[in-house]
Amino acid sequence: MEQFIGLDVSLKETFISVREGGQRVWRGKCPSDPKLIAEMVRKRAPEAARVVFETGPLSVWFYHALREEGLPAICIDARHAKAALDLARNKTDANDADGLSHLAEVGFYREVRVKAFDSMLTRTLVAGRNQLLKMTTQLSNQIRGLMKTFGLIVPKGAGRLFASHVREQLADNPALEKIISPLLESWLSIRARTAELTKQLIASARMSDQCRLLSSIPGVGVVTASSFIAAIEDPENFRKSRSVGAWVGLTTRRYQSGEVDYDGHISRRGDNHLRSLLYEAAVTIMTRTREENALRTWGLRLKEKIGFKRAAVAVARKLAVIMHTMLRTGELFRHSEPAAA
């Protein structure tokens, strides 16, 4: 008879629950190591039909590692599972594992597509670069703020210009220079590391036909194109291009109950970073792009009716649809023809 396993994964320990024939037959725990978990599952459930666990920080590693061990691993949506797990009287890791095994047995779950390691490498590269950019901005603002206390106003400027301005201001204040100089050297070092990651990202994008294809869209750069491809992976993961906008969280939420029926704000579900990049690209298309195209014209007309921010969100949603269509068809961005809805 088939067995169904639920895994409640944490950083140190993983609770395991095995169900068979409508009831729990074993429950235990072991260190959060996929190999050790696979050995335990094979020992306690040799006829395992499903091994279910929730999305989380370790889900990508667990999914691929358990699959390599030959187990039928399934990663499910944590928000969807929460509704069922909250029915338990006591919230414990062991009870969560029981609830997940029950979901595995009845098949009441929403499976999540787990990204490949190559896509996760791209996402990690983009995330690491963004973190360094934030650090440089925070550090430069900190330097400006500390120097203002002593009446030293650093003129506007970035990069080498900022560093030269700081050094000029500190030339007549050796005591303050001893404090600010280490911060400035750290700022320069972080900028150098950021440049290294940027070169890696650009080199990776140049080798990708898909990145070059998406970069033909005005306002879409290397970061947006790479992030979109890493998130979508295979265009065939979506049957309709219109579904991408909802998947990224750029469609409005709807609430209907009896006589109450209204649309709210966008759902903000899915990849927050990708959604932000698409919005930034939409703003660029509407404000900075000089070359006229159907998407920009449509967005500017919409702005007159509903305002700039809501129009930018609509352009971002349509941009996601267009980018997915381009990946599926392999066609370049069309500037003159009407944009795909």
Question: H or E segment at 75?
Answer: strand 73-76
For residues 196 and 160, what is the distance between their CA atoms, to the nearest angstrom? 17
Q: Collapsing DSSP states into helix, strand and coil, what is residue 289?
A: coil
For residues 177 and 156, what is the distance between their CA atoms, to the nearest angstrom? 19
Q: Please give the mean pLDDT across all residues of the chain.
A: 91
pTM of the entire structure?
0.84
What pLDDT was estimated at residue 199?
A: 96
For residues 190 and 254, what is the distance between their CA atoms, to the nearest angstrom? 44
Average pLDDT over every residue of 301-326: 95
Neighbour tally for 187: CB within 10 Å: 22
For residues 320 and 280, what is the distance between their CA atoms, to the nearest angstrom? 12
What pLDDT was estimated at residue 336?
A: 63
Which pLDDT tens digit goes with each residue over 28-45? Answer: 999 999 999 999 999 999
Which pLDDT tens digit goes with each residue over 91-109? Answer: 899 999 999 999 999 998 8
What pLDDT was estimated at residue 341?
A: 43
Q: For residue 163, what are its two tokens?
A: 């560093």
Which pLDDT tens digit goes with each residue over 155-206? Answer: 988 888 999 999 999 998 999 999 999 999 999 999 999 999 999 999 999 9
In this structure, the dihedral spanned by the alpha carbons of residues 170, 172, 174 and 179, taken in order and rounded to 10 degrees, is -20
For residues 36 and 30, what is the distance between their CA atoms, to the nearest angstrom? 7
For residues 129 and 126, what is the distance between their CA atoms, to the nearest angstrom? 5
* pLDDT over 70 (residue 242): yes
What pLDDT was estimated at residue 340?
A: 46
What pLDDT was estimated at residue 88?
A: 81
